[in-house]
Structure 1
Amino acid sequence: MTGVAGGVLAVDAGNSKTDVAVVAADGRVLGTARGGGFRPPAVGVETAVDALGEVVARAFTAAGVGAVGHVSACLANADLPVEEEQLAAALQARGWGTTVEVRNDTFAILRAGVSEPRGVAVVCGAGINCVGMRPDGRTARFPALGRISGDWGGGWGLAEEALWWAARAEDGRGGPTELMRTLPAHFGLGSMYALIEALHLGHVEHDRRHELTPVLFATAEEGDQVARAIVDRLAEEVVAMAVVALTRLELLEEEVPVLLGGGILAAGRLQLDDRVRELLGVRAPKAVARVVTAPPVLGAALLGLDAVRAPSAAQGRVRGHFALRAGVGAS
């Protein structure tokens, strides 16, 4: 198989799934593939890249090529520049492309939602992160390593917060909240004590804690004040990150998109959406909040086409491809 001169290998590798696309310099999508999550901290860089290589091989086979000009990889767990450099070296050694650029996967969501590399994106899924970029190459970002880097929010954080308040409500250390009933009821249990015991002893698997986040939102929608306060705090965190990124990039006084992505921010939660927009209106009145529904691999492809200086028609073609597959209009 031959290479694609000027072509791009676009990689969006998240914690739960990986999407790969081989894109010609004119924006035609030649082949795609999907695989499992990308978790270097859990399995090591080489093992994670080996697994990624299997997905890349399937995409190359579908495209009928063996290499491209540029690899644009937006990867989960590439949270620090030193991690991006380490992962870029590992990808470069595979020989998939002449040049390689690795970014945190949040950049893919940002680029998927804008017509040029200009704006800020806040992503809230299992965790929370925010990045910003300007066409001149300047970026803003956070370490996004959890509480040690000052983060609060994301599905895991919300579930933990809900459990904390519910446990204290039941044993009397805290005020009343319906969460003390709705959280254990989700697992068919009658009390927080029973849920705490089940989580501690492994009768309810640790990974199932994320199921409690929708329960939190449903309880908030029923009017529970503690649950609503947790949702409001998430909105505060989303806006705080966006405003800091806008300030760092000197975009606070310009009309600029603030993209909202990830399972929690894209779910259409009325209280959360309204509060985010209300706070942005006060702290960044020129910002335009939008939810991104386009697949992140599109953003990785567009970043790759930016890097090879592809014409705007190529970007329109690849965007149209993924919009058609999703059955929606371009973002």
Structure 2
Amino acid sequence: MTARLYAAADGGNSKTDVVLGDSDGRVLARVSGGTISPHAVPFDEALARIAALVSRARTEASLPAGIELSQLSVYTAGADLPVEVSRLTTEVSALALASATTVDNDLFALLRAGAATPDTVGVVCGAGINAAGRRADGATARFPALGQLSGDWGGGHHLAALALYHAVRSEDGRGPATALEAAVRAHFGLDSVEAAAVALHLGEVDRSRMDELCELVFTVAAAGDDLAGRLIRRQADEIEALVRVCAARLGLLGSAYTIVLGGSVLTARHPQLHEDLLRRLAALSPLATVTVLASPPVAGAALLALDALHGGQCPAGVEDAVRSAV
């Protein structure tokens, strides 16, 4: 039987990875480009980027124009609500890039990248925070992930903003003293935290540098600062809650399932957060296995495409080949 071809995309908030391969597990091309999240770029631009990336992958794989892809699987940030997933599925399908098209949130690619087991709950804590879960029968659990509008707390952007917030209030006396004050001053090389805040506001310091303050929270907490330590414990509270709610909705709390931790804040394995989470999750679900994402999420997107091609879960040998290649 001739191997069938697929393309799979993992679209984050800043970039998109696309893999093109075949149903035997061979990876024929891998390309990257800008984000395809419809929250970050206009909808038409997101669609154009998907088409361009698949075209680049076909070129890299030396695929003749007449050879059709059997499956296109796109997992992207910004596909948070059912209406968003539905619209993206309709519009991406209309591009006619493959015989069959699947579109969903990028968290499902993370889940598949982190675990081969069908019962899985995953939390991504990077720039932002979100969680999702899936069960063997196809049931899923997810959140709207609309920031404060939907009750979200934490992630790198939020922790960085809180670092500056508490440093300013420590300096001017409105809040408790914290070593974040001196750390923020030193980080920006300015005489005061207020000067740093003003420079960020006026554009004298690029606002993107705000994100660098997330790491300061962990550094200062590790040195014994109480306030920074409380921020990290609060982040652990939120991650534990996300896992608890997802697992409870899927009826997995008392079962053997996999918990995947992904995103830059979690994959850094900061001891104060990581070790606390391991204790909490062991108490929450004693039969669960906790893993930190090691494979790139695009590997999960590729495996989901292969699962579709194989009518279930792809063979172990095919999965191993893709994980090794990607």
TM-score by length of 2: 0.94
1:20 and 2:18 aligned: yes
* CA shift for structure 1 position 185: 1.6
SS in 2 for 1:115: coil
In angstroms, what is the RMSD of aligned CA positions? Answer: 1.7
Corresponding letter in the other structure for 1:50: A
Paired residues, what number? Answer: 322
Q: Which residue type is aligned with residue 292 of structure 1?
A: L
Contact kept, 8 Å, 2:253 with 2:285, in 1: the verdict is yes
Report the CA distance shift for 1:52/1:311 in structure 2 as closer, same or farther (over 3 A): closer
Q: Tell me the alpha carbon deviations over residues 5-32 of structure 1, each in whole angstroms, 9 at most, x when there is no partner.
A: 6422111011111111112112211221
What displacement does 1:285 show? 2.2
Is the 1:25–1:310 contact (alpha carbons within 8 Å) kept by the matching residues of 2? no
1:309 Cα deviation from its structure 2 partner: 2.2
Displacement, 1:261?
0.4
- The residue that corresponds to 1:329 in the other structure is none
The CA deviation string for residues 17-64 of structure 1, in whole angstroms up to 9 with x for no partner, is 111111211221122111122232233111112122222111111223
Q: Distance in 2 between matches of 1:155 and 1:311?
A: 35
Secondary structure of the equivalent of 1:264? Answer: helix
- Distance 1:245-1:313 versus aligned 2 partners, 3 A rule: closer
Question: Residue 86 of structure 1 aligns with which residue?
Answer: 87
Unpaired segments ≥5 residues, structure 1: 326-331
Question: How do residues 175-324 of structure 1 correspond to structure 2 at under 5 angstroms?
Answer: 175-309=176-310, 314=315, 316-324=317-325
8 Å Cα contact 1:28/1:318 also seen in 2: no
SS of residue paired to 2:133: strand
1:14-53 correspondence to structure 2 within 5 Å: 14-53=12-51
Residue type at the aligned position of 1:99: A
Structure 1 residues 261-312: Cα deviation after superposition (integer angstroms, max 9, x where no partner): 0111000211100111111122222222110110111111111112222586
1:145 aligns with 2:146: yes
AA paired with 2:17?
D
Pick which of 88-97 and 291-300 moved more. Answer: 88-97
Structure 2 unaligned blocks of 5 or more: none
Q: Matched residues in 2 for 1:311 and 1:133: separation?
A: 14
The alignment partner of 2:99 has SS state of strand
- Quick one: structure 1 residues 32 and 314, their matched pair in 2 at CA, closer, same or farther if it must change by over 3 Å? farther
> 1:134 offset after TM fit, Å?
1.2
**What's the CA shift string for 1:228-256, capped at 9, x where partnerless?**
11111111111100010000001111011
Q: Please tell me the residue identity of whatever aligns with 1:54.
A: A
1:121 aligns with 2:85: no
Q: What code does the residue aligned with 2:323 have?
A: F
Alignment check: 8 A CA contact 2:117 2:257 kept: no
- Percent identity over the alignment is 43
The 2-side partners of 1:5 and 1:57 are apart by: 20
Instruction: Tell me, yes or no, if the aligned pair for 2:17 and 2:298 is still in contact at 8 Å.
Output: yes
> Which stretch shifts more, 230-239 or 29-38?
29-38
Aligned-partner Cα distance in 2 for 1:258–1:16: 25
In structure 1, what is the Cα distance between the partners aligned to 2:55 and 2:320?
Answer: 23
Where do residues 51-90 of structure 1 align in structure 2 (5 Å cutoff)? 51-65=49-63, 66=65, 67-90=68-91
Cα contact 2:47–2:92 (8 A) shared by 1:
yes
3-state SS of 1:43 partner: coil
Question: Scaled by the length of structure 1, what TM-score is found?
Answer: 0.92
Task: Report which stretch shifted further, 241-250 or 52-61.
Answer: 52-61
- 8 A contact 1:5–1:69 mirrored in 2: no
Structure 2 distance, partners of 1:79, 1:311, is: 24
Name whichever of 40-49 and 288-297 sits farther off.
40-49
Aligned residue for 2:189, secondary structure, equals coil
**Alpha-carbon separation, structure 2, partners of 1:231 and 1:42:** 28
- Letter of the 1:187 partner, please give it: F
Q: 6, 18, 21: which one pairs with 1:8?
A: 6
Is the Cα–Cα contact under 8 Å of residues 25 and 321 in structure 2 kept in the other structure?
no
